């Protein structure tokens, strides 16, 4: 067994799987510790790096070990078209909690209150990373570091603080909860230290979250439409924050 494969087997239960070139590229860009990265086609992977990630090309060159196609396929649940996979060290809960608790804050924290859909959670983490949100907090039983969520997040869990917390331990800051029955968001400027909460796909905001809410806000919606998808609601809300001059991250 080659060294990268031995390392893979040693680390795969404790590390986060980065599935495909783009997830690895993002994770490296945002400072993830990547102890092992493999590819079935090193030349193709480095050609992608030249084209799409010249900023981290050197790091990727140093990280990627070529393994036979069958070996690569045996390490991942499903081979990715780019034939690249890596393992990254999950940031410590303590470090994430420090980031989430730090004040003053330059960008909101997104709270998903008891989300159910792993794909939605991944899409929201990708959005939060794109808008430079401070973090994404989930309440309830969904693990925001579940492999399916990490896949949906395209390696961007390392660009924002992602943790699961109890409703009574949410980060500081005024709590704006999104609900179709709220006040029209278009008349409200969201502060940079806002905590932006969204309800679950099936039942909306929990009673516990509602009890802590400072402002209930609605996204504009035509009569007779019941609600938007969770991730699109987060997208519109973060866009609303950024369009009013919310901090843009370099």
Ligand X SMILES: C[S@@+](CC[C@H](N)C(=O)[O-])C[C@H]1O[C@@H](n2cnc3c(N)ncnc32)[C@H](O)[C@@H]1O
Question: Least distance in Å: CB of 188 to ligand X?
Answer: 12
Measured at the CA of 72, the angle between CA 69 and CA 74, to 5 degrees, comes to 110
Judge contact between 112 and 149, C-beta under 8 A: no
From the list 199, 209, 235, 246, which residue makes contact with ligand X (rule: CB under 6 A)?
199
Please enumerate in sequence order all residues whose Cβ is within 8 A of that of 100, keeping only pairs 6 or more positions apart, or say none. 109, 134, 135, 137, 161, 163, 165, 171
Closest to 203 (Cα-Cα) out of 185, 221, 227, 225? 227
Quick one: 21 or 131, whose CB is closer to ligand X? Answer: 131
Residue 175 CA to residue 105 CA, distance in Å, equals 14
Sheet holding 16-19, edge to edge: 16-19, 84-88, 36-39, 64-66
Residue 198 engages ligand X in binding (rule: CB under 6 A): yes
Question: Given candidates 32, 179, 209, 238, which one binds ligand X under the rule CB under 6 A?
Answer: 179
* 233, 235, 238, 246: which one binds ligand X (CB under 6 A): 233
Q: Least Å distance between CB 241 and ligand X?
A: 14
Minimum CB–partner distance for residue 198 and ligand X (Å): 4
User: Of the candidates 53, 85, 121, 230, which one interacts with ligand X according to CB under 6 A?
Assistant: 230
SS3 50: helix
Asked if 221 interacts with ligand X (CB under 6 A), we say: yes
Least distance from ligand X to the Cβ atom of residue 201, Å: 5
| In the complex, minimum distance from the CB of residue 200 to ligand X, in angstroms, rounded to a whole number | 7
* Interacting residue ranges for ligand X, rule: CB under 6 A: 178-180, 198-199, 201, 203-205, 218-219, 221, 227-230, 233
């Amino acid at each position: 067994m080659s060294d990268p494969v031995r390392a893979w087997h040693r680390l795969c239960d404790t590390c986060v799987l980065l599935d495909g070139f783009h997830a690895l590229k993002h994770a490296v860009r945002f400072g993830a510790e990547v102890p092992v990265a493999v590819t079935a086609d090193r030349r193709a992977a480095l050609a992608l790096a030249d084209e799409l990630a010249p900023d981290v090309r050197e790091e990727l060159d140093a990280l990627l070990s070529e393994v036979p196609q069958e070996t690569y396929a045996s390490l991942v649940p499903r081979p990715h078209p780019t034939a690249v996979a890596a393992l990254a060290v999950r940031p410590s809960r303590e470090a994430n909690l420090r980031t989430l608790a730090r004040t003053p804050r330059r960008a909101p924290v997104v709270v998903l209150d008891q989300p159910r859909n792993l794909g939605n959670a991944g899409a929201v983490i990708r959005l939060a990373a794109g808008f430079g949100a401070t973090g994404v907090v989930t309440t309830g039983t969904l693990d925001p570091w579940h492999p399916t969520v990490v896949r949906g997040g395209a390696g961007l869990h390392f660009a924002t603080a992602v943790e699961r917390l109890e409703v009574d331990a949410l980060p500081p800051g005024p709590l704006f909860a999104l609900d179709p029955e709220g006040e029209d968001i278009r008349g409200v400027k969201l502060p940079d230290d806002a905590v932006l909460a969204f309800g679950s796909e099936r039942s909306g905001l929990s009673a516990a979250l509602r009890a802590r809410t400072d402002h209930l806000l609605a996204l504009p919606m035509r009569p007779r439409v019941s609600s938007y998808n969770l991730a699109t609601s987060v997208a519109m809300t973060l866009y609303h924050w950024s369009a009013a001059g919310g901090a843009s991250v370099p």
